[in-house]
Amino acid sequence: MYNPDVRIDIRDSNDVHYRVYALRFLLNHGDMLGVKGGDGIIGAIGPIMRGEIKKSGQSAALGLKYDINIMKHWHQESCRPDLRTLGGLGKEQGHGAGTG
């Protein structure tokens, strides 16, 4: 069934910029932030924040500012007002094939 309010956006790019009412979002996998991994003390938060600072600056320079960045790559959840990292979906959380 066709619904003009639903839009599917498939791009060659790793980044998808979109708007929901007044909020501007950036959706990306998170694996191409151009930063190295975390360490045993601070975990993934170091590279996530370094990547967010880098991504925010690049997007602003291109005129693509956003309010919230959503990414997945890091397999852990975090929630800040301007950044969401989504936890894993699948085997690592018991939802994959053969785990139930």
- When pLDDT is cut at 50, 70 and 90, the band that residue 85 belongs to is confident
Residue 98 lies inside a defined structural domain of this protein: no
Q: Identify the domain containing residue 81 by its residue range.
A: 15-93
**pTM for this predicted structure:** 0.70
Query: What does the mean pLDDT of the chain come to?
Result: 79
Identity (one letter) of the amino acid at 3?
N
Residue 8 lies inside a defined structural domain of this protein: no
Q: What's the domain count of the chain?
A: 1
Residue 31 lies inside a defined structural domain of this protein: yes
Residue 86 lies inside a defined structural domain of this protein: yes
Residue 84 lies inside a defined structural domain of this protein: yes
Cβ neighbors of 84 (< 8 A, separation 6 or more) are 68, 69, 70, 71, 78
pLDDT in tens, 19-66: 999 999 998 887 877 777 767 777 778 888 888 888 899 999 999 999
Cβ neighbors of 99 (< 8 A, separation 6 or more) are 91
Residue 99 lies inside a defined structural domain of this protein: no
